[in-house]
Structure 1
């Protein structure tokens, strides 16, 4: 049905997409540092080896929709993990508005990547808008993971799923319908790959509601970022860290 819809509605979809790119409100990426250290509120007096977390992604990972990284994804995620584990968390963010899964590979090559045990990936919306095939999308993500496992020592990976683009308020119909169907197609391919890999986990974003979005009606709002960070931290703690001892030194 998706292919048929594209054939029948192609000219209209193209015209709506061009108009949306021309008229959409452009918000900046969140201000603030792209790396840092978060500490638990209560410490036991011992100096613990920090958990190292790397977040890679597009405009949503970069915090578009909120003013500061303290309100976005990476830093709140690190803070959540510090409170949950009682250990410091070193975090790094490598993200840029507009990149898809292929362009993210080039983005990594232009940054100095520090060591990381946990990787959180937020890519896919721009793969929808650039019409990346599901096979190529997964292949790009696989290459990204392999590169960061070799380069940064990544052991555990959480992928954020595609948001419910069929509810995207900024997009008119039938473009909204088409983007939503394509997003579900990529999300299904992502989940099928994750289910077959022991080191990978999936964080759904299907709970995100349109009325809670940023003022551009495209990016997450403050509450959505907070929920996203909480869910990602819960997955990391419960799936990867609960039975893994953390080295401590005096």
Structure 2
């Protein structure tokens, strides 16, 4: 209720600041590079990455420096990996669900997801958002039968350099509510694990975000990839 009231009260500021952010924020393209292929030697492993601009690797110039590349670098010496990246800038949970529905039935050992930021910018309530997540992961399990799903938490948008207050504060409250609900959801699903997008830790390690102040940098993608790879090694 408090979040809903805060949103209503701040709507005039949100409109003004939102338009200003759109005009001022640098628009970065999705990185170039292969989004599907096979790499490495060792035990067979299939990986699918799904989601939004962070999943797509926005913030760096090539897929080698993005989340996909970071995961492959960590695992390629121990696994022969068939990989696929299906992610698009601006996609909400509903659009990611549609992406999954449009894909053919096929098995992936691991599905890695990143979704939530674009739901926040559209002011999707944490309650409605978790319902979308339930639908999304039901579709993923049915379509791809993964042994492991690694879901990335919603970033704390109150810490995004590109966002001014009170816009940043409000988006941060949405992210906090979403992550609270999502943590419980993951705990109830045996094949799911959760990675927190810990921007405070990144800053303590002197890791900066991309130059747009909105997306991960190469260094953050590298650390994110290490966390994903650790969870995969524990399972396979």
Which of 88, 99, 113 pairs up with 2:91? 99
User: Unaligned stretches of 5+ in structure 1?
Assistant: 242-250
Moved more, 144-153 or 217-226: 144-153
Query: 1:19 aligns to what?
Result: 20
Matched, 1:56 2:56: no
Shift of 1:195: 1.3
Q: 2:232 aligns to what? A: 236
Which residue of structure 2 aligns with residue 244 of structure 1?
none
Aligned to 1:223, the other structure's residue is in SS state helix
2:207/2:219 contact within 8 Å kept: no
Task: State the TM-score, normalized to the length of structure 2.
Answer: 0.90
**Secondary structure at the residue paired with 1:132?**
coil
- C-alpha displacement of 1:149: 2.2
Structure 1 position 177 matched with structure 2 position 151 = no
- The 5-angstrom pairing of residues 131-142 of structure 1 reads 131-142=123-134
Q: What residue is the counterpart of 2:193 in the other structure?
A: 201
Q: How does 1:74-223 map to 2 (within 5 A)?
A: 74-83=68-77, 86-112=78-104, 114-206=106-198, 207-209=201-203, 212-223=208-219
Distance 2:81 2:221 in 1: 19
Offset at residue 114 of structure 1 (A): 4.6
Contact 1:161–1:187 under 8 Å retained in 2: yes
* Native 8 Å contact 1:26 1:216 kept in 2: yes
Larger Rg over CA atoms: 1
Gaps of 5+ in 2: none
Question: Any idea what SS the aligned residue of 1:56 has?
Answer: strand
1:211 deviates by 6.0
Contact 1:164 1:208 in 2 (8 A): no
Residue 235 of structure 1 deviates from its aligned partner by 1.6
1:6 and 1:75 map into 2 onto residues whose CA distance is: 38
- Displacement of 1:116 after TM fit? 0.6
CA distance in 1, matches of 2:191, 2:102: 26
Output one character per residue of 1:41-72: Cα deviation in whole Å (capped at 9) or x when no partner. Answer: xx6xxxx4x21011101001111110110110
SS at match of 2:112: strand
Shift of 1:157: 0.6
> C-alpha root-mean-square deviation of aligned residues, in Å?
1.9
Count of residue pairs the alignment pairs up: 231
- The residue correspondences of 1:6-45 to structure 2 (distance < 5 A) are 6-40=7-41
| Equivalent position SS for 1:159 | strand
1:86-128 alpha-carbon deviations (Å, 9 max, x no partner)? 2211111000000011111122344456531111110011111
**By how many angstroms is 1:82 displaced?**
2.9
Q: Secondary structure at the match of 1:218?
A: coil
Report the CA distance between 1:152 and its aligned residue: 2.2
State the Cα distance separating 1:142 from its structure 2 match: 2.3
Name the CA distance, whole Å, in 1 between partners of 2:29 and 2:65.
14
Contact 1:53 1:78 in 2 (8 A): no
Change (3 A) 1:38 1:194: same
Contact 2:52 2:92 in 1 (8 A): yes
Equivalent-residue separation in structure 1 for 2:157 and 2:100 (angstroms): 26
